Amino acid sequence: MFISMTGYGKSEYQLPSGRKITVEIKTTNHRYRDLGMKVPRSIVPLESEIRKYLFSRIQRGRIDLLIQVKDEARETSEVKLDLSLAEKVYSLLTDLKYKLRLKGEITTDLLLHFREIFLSVEPEEETELTWEILEPFLNSALNALEQMRQKEGLALLKDVESRLEQIRAFLGTIESKASAFRTNYHALLKKRVQDLLSDVGVDETRVAQEVAFIVERMDITEEVTRVKSHVSQLKGWLALDEPAGRKIDFLLQEINREVNTMGAKVQDAEITLLTVEIKNELEKIREQIQNIE
């Protein structure tokens, strides 16, 4: 199955106790599999279980997991006054006023500018969550993530398949032009050799052999056949139920190598242009493949 490495999934649920659990999973393109987790302290003991579960569902890419646990009834932080610090600030301001002979009173409004005298006390976390409670929410977020990855993967698949068909068309044109090129080049080369050696006695059989040898070196039949085979194999890999991104990337490199050989062997402007077009399509396919699992 063609699955994109890019996706997002989210699930939210409020427990009977009033706590609200939010699970967000984001995946992006990455050469290997990498996981980043941001979870509250109450879930830290479950990190190993979470990692194992995620890796059983996601084979490749960067995974960012965010889990939040909030208690709506105890969500607001409590604010307290640091009386000791407030007294020190007041004493320092009084001393400063006396030494610099400043006018005015040290009022509450003035002390409010010193935010350090107020403490924000976060509510204590409740007991740790169990895997049995967390697993359904993690599974729900993963299902949403997979749906998005599959949808984007389908769009990538259609694009890659259309480009493979374009490459097939280019190969068909190259085959017909290469055949005509060999025939014309053979006749042209033979005539040039005969013209150059018109005043010299030469063995016609030997000339024919040498010309045939030169033309044979420009034959790209094997390269075209191998590229066609690779394209067919690549199309088959697109339908695999297992991750095939790395295998496809390797095969694209092999196709590119064969196409480079074709362009180097045939000294024909039209064929050279077609090999360039094929390499452009291969590069676009490679960019798409980089984002599949």
What is the band of 276 on the pLDDT scale with cuts at 50, 70, 90? very high
Are 33 and 143 members of one domain? yes
Q: What's the confidence (pLDDT) of residue 255? A: 94
Q: What tokens appear for 106 in the block? A: 């040290």
Q: What mean pLDDT is predicted for residues 96-122? A: 81
> Which position has the higher pLDDT, 91 or 264?
91
Alpha-carbon distance of 35 to 27, in angstroms, equals 9
Q: What's the confidence (pLDDT) of residue 9? A: 96
Q: What's the confidence (pLDDT) of residue 228? A: 92
- Is residue 28 predicted with pLDDT exceeding 90? yes
Q: What's the confidence (pLDDT) of residue 259? A: 93
Lowest-confidence segment of 50-59, 60-69, 107-116 by average pLDDT: 107-116
Q: What's the confidence (pLDDT) of residue 195? A: 60
Judge whether 283 and 252 are in contact, CB under 8 Å: no
What is the band of 55 on the pLDDT scale with cuts at 50, 70, 90? very high
Assign residue 70 a region: left if phi > 0, alpha if psi is -120 to 50, beta otherwise? beta
Residue 246 lies in a domain: yes
Lowest-confidence segment of 49-58, 107-116, 117-126, 209-218 by average pLDDT: 209-218
- Is residue 274 predicted with pLDDT exceeding 80? yes
- Is residue 57 predicted with pLDDT exceeding 80? yes
- Is residue 275 predicted with pLDDT exceeding 90? yes
Q: What's the confidence (pLDDT) of residue 231? A: 93
> Which position has the higher pLDDT, 284 or 187?
284
Residue 2 lies in a domain: no
Q: What mean pLDDT is predicted for residues 81-109? A: 86
Are 139 and 39 members of one domain? yes
Judge whether 244 and 216 are in contact, CB under 8 Å: no
For residue 101, the enclosing domain spans 78-121
Are 141 and 87 members of one domain? no
- Is residue 209 predicted with pLDDT exceeding 70? no
Are 237 and 111 members of one domain? no
Are 138 and 27 members of one domain? yes
Are 66 and 92 members of one domain? no
Are 193 and 91 members of one domain? no
Residue 1 lies in a domain: no
Alpha-carbon distance of 117 to 113, in angstroms, equals 9
Lowest-confidence segment of 52-66, 79-93, 108-122 by average pLDDT: 108-122
Q: What's the confidence (pLDDT) of residue 129? A: 77
Q: What's the confidence (pLDDT) of residue 111? A: 81
Are 31 and 51 members of one domain? yes
Q: What mean pLDDT is predicted for residues 56-66? A: 93
